Chains A and B, each alone.
With several copies, the nearest count.
Chain A
Amino acid sequence: MKLYEFESKEIVARYGIPVPRGRVVDKPEEALQVAKELGAAVLKAQVLVGGRGLAGGIKIVDKPEEALQVAKELLSASIRGERVERILVEEKVCIDRELYISLTVDRAARKLMYLVSEIGGVEIEELAKKYPEKIHKIYVDPNIGYVDYMAREALQALKLPWTLLQDLANIMKGMYKIMIDYDAELVEFNPLAFTCEGKLVALDAKIIIDDNSLYKHPELQKLYGREFSGFERKARELGVGSYVELDGDIGIICNGAGITMMTMDLVYYYGGKPANFLDLGGGVTRERIKKALTLMLSHPRAKVILINIFAGFTKLNEVAQGIVDAVKEVGMKKPLIIRFKGTFAEEGMRILKENGITEVYTELDDAVKMAVELARKM
């Protein structure tokens, strides 16, 4: 789960890492007031999408009075499709150089890793493509954690004076603590400013929390799902599985992340477009498929529903009954194409057919082709 910049900075500041003075606001008048307190100010749209700067989400006002108008504009804008509901108003910091530092997970090494670069303010993926030699990596063993020599290596890579060693060490130690205390996947300051006064300040801050650890952090768990769209939120509330909204017209219900993605891919492969990704996970029960299908039958964009269940541990007779339950309850509002394979497939198919559900396949390709064809016709 991504945290907003202002949320990240609240945490970061609590760990003794310098951030610009400022406050988050959701009304233009408040923005004006904060700007007056600060003098020259920066107004930053609080959104979770990346590339905010290029999309006009960051504005500088040299005179506080300008803040009212600028805040009005920002608060009525959308950044890459995301509505701006809050802005962070901060003091304008005099910057000598913009640097990059993050603590992240290296999947290949199975370790944490600091990435530092003397070039900050650009997205790290761009930097990695253009100047890979400008990125210095420092691996962190999970069982040892941060060690002071890492700050010395980072200091050299950042080309900072040795007088800043203790400050940088505190920042890096703080990042590591945040990573562990908050079960984060990423703690990133981009840019980390080397200011005209010769100090280090986290100008931007980004924290991503590991979803699997949210149960340990009730205050964060409450926030989970806030960036979800309508159906993503509904699927979550129903507890039917992982749901991702897409822009096509073929509703998809499968069991297992890989097979769900593959089913999406096959829909595209045969010329269709999926409306969603819905992975029911392992051990699909009658109740779960019923809820999932009921949900998808109400999906405004999905013209047909493609259900692909390859059963190992799951019993397809139960799945069939859940499908029948849903259809009986809300009616077969749109065509259902079903593919069953595995445990009790034949019994499941029999149950479906007895209940008037006839588009039932054994082969995945056949089912997908039929779903695409039907959607095209409608």
Chain B
Amino acid sequence: MITMGILVNSSTKVLVQGITGRVGSFMTKMMIDYGTKIVAGTTPGKGGGYVHGVPVYNTIYEAVKEQGPIDASVVFVPASIADDAIYEAIDNGIKVIVAITEGIPLHSEIRFINYARTKGVVIVGPNTPGILTVNECNISIMPAFLFKRGSIGIVSRSGTLTFEVAAALAKHGYGVSTAIGIGGDLITGLDFIETYEMFLRDEHTEGIVLIGEIGGDAEERFANYYAKLEPKNKKPVIAILAGKTAPPGKRMGHAGAIISMGMGDYRSKRESLEKVGIPVAETPSQVPLLIERVLGK
């Protein structure tokens, strides 16, 4: 099988942290059904059994010893102990960690994200729907069946809005290579720039949809970065931004979605993007039209 997309593909061996929990177990089934190579799961003190045919271990150390090196893990453990799970994954050599967990304390996040970066480990999230390389590997809580395989990369700060965009693309015949949620918290493991660079290197991805929202300046920074790229390093990007009508100073669901200290409003983001030639859709249904325009097909 020809692999496609970024970070994960059909050969990625995946571990589920918190596999015996309600959500962990349910999502394990979904991911396996999609064809994801789930090789092991962990729940401390519950090692020895199986969940949907996947062996359960007490520690990642044990899982790696028995299953060999593991490429990626997905974290379904509660917020208060998620950092511990993530350190365990990093220290056991796992290079992609998908932290689905919502509500992790800010300073924990800052600490483990910095630690991961020094180890060359990619944290997807926290507070992310996950990552999906279509028809290859689903490490997410996304409804993968909505995604058609194709050449559009999606990078998003949002969950459900990603599904909406994917559905709109599919309706117009556009498929997706990889869809990745970078997470809705104040601090995330990946930003738009880093993710774009991965899509740039993926020869199957021809265009990119950036799904932003109010709060922070990740979109503005991406616009500045994109403007300075040499033409050979530019793939077409279009954007859609949520929160045009959100009031300042209020947290809109995501910890990171807040206009504060005069920063993070919709207008600044939209103007920055449009100034550097990235069209911004007003509605999800406009996304495929803009993609059609920038791809010229």
Contacts and interface: CB of A to CB of B under 8 A. Distances in A.
Touch A–B, Cβ below 8 Å: yes
Contacts of A246: 247
Nearest to B248: A50
Contacts of A216: 105
Contact of B284 (A125, A179, A283, A364): A364
Interface residues of B, number: 81
B242 A342 contact: no
Contacts of A139: 91
B294 interface: no
B115 A149 contact: no
B252 A261 contact: yes
A378 interface: no
A149 B161 CA distance: 35
A311 interface: yes
Interface of chain A: mostly helix, strand, loop or mixed: mixed
Interface string B159-171: 1111110010000
A105 B187 contact: yes
Contact of B161 (A123, A244, A259, A365): A259
Given A256-B160, A257-B252, A259-B160, A144 B115 contact: yes
B285 A365 contact: yes
Contacts of A179: 107
B111 A244 contact: no
Contacts of A254: 160
A268 B191 CA distance: 29
Contacts of A162: 44-45, 58
A258 B211 contact: yes
Interface in B73-89: 79-81, 83-85, 87-88
B242 A262 contact: yes
A112 B111 CA distance: 10
A212 B106 contact: yes
A216 to B, nearest CB: 7
A267 to B, nearest CB: 8
B184 A257 contact: yes
Interface residues of A, number: 71
A265 interface: yes
Nearest to B158: A258
Name the residue among A108, A123, A267 with the largest chain B CB count within 10 angstroms.
A108
Contacts, number: 222
Contacts of A73: none
A249 interface: no
Nearest to B106: A210
A148 B84 contact: yes
B143 A342 contact: yes
Interface stretch (B7-15, B215-223, B228-236): B215-223
Nearest to B256: A107
Contacts of A310: 160, 163-164, 167
A268 B59 contact: no
B157 A258 contact: yes
B245 A257 contact: no
B227 interface: no
B283 A365 contact: yes
A62 interface: no
B262 interface: yes
Contacts of B250: 244, 277
Contact of A124 (B141, B218, B261): B261
Interface in A116-156: 123-126, 128-129, 139, 141-144, 147-149, 152-153, 156
B141 A258 contact: no
Nearest to A283: B23
B103 interface: yes
A162 B245 CA distance: 49
Nearest to B240: A262
A333 B219 CA distance: 42
Contacts of A312: 129, 141-143, 146, 159-160, 163
A283 to B, nearest CB: 7
B277 interface: no
Nearest to A312: B143
A180 B107 CA distance: 7
B197 interface: no
A261 B85 contact: no
Contacts of B27: 313
A284 B285 CA distance: 24
A260 B252 contact: yes
Contact of A259 (B80, B104, B158, B255): B158
Given A107-B186, A258-B161, A261-B257, A363 B285 contact: yes
Interface of A: 50, 105, 107-108, 110-112, 123-126, 128-129, 139, 141-144, 147-149, 152-153, 156, 162, 165, 179-180, 183, 185, 210-213, 215-216, 241-242, 244, 246, 254-262, 264-269, 274, 277, 279, 281-283, 310-313, 341-343, 363-365
Given A255-B160, A277-B250, A282-B159, 11 more contacts: A105-B187, A107-B186, A123-B262, A210-B106, A244-B252, A254-B160, A257-B184, A258-B257, A261-B253, A274-B245, A310-B160
10 closest cross-chain pairs (CB), A and B: A258-B158, A257-B253, A256-B160, A125-B262, A258-B161, A312-B143, A149-B88, A259-B160, A261-B242, A279-B253
28 contacts: A111-B114, A143-B114, A149-B59, A152-B44, A152-B59, A152-B88, A165-B44, A183-B105, A212-B255, A216-B105, A254-B160, A257-B252, A257-B254, A258-B253, A259-B161, A261-B242, A261-B243, A261-B253, A261-B257, A262-B161, A310-B160, A310-B163, A310-B167, A312-B163, A313-B141, A341-B163, A341-B164, A342-B143
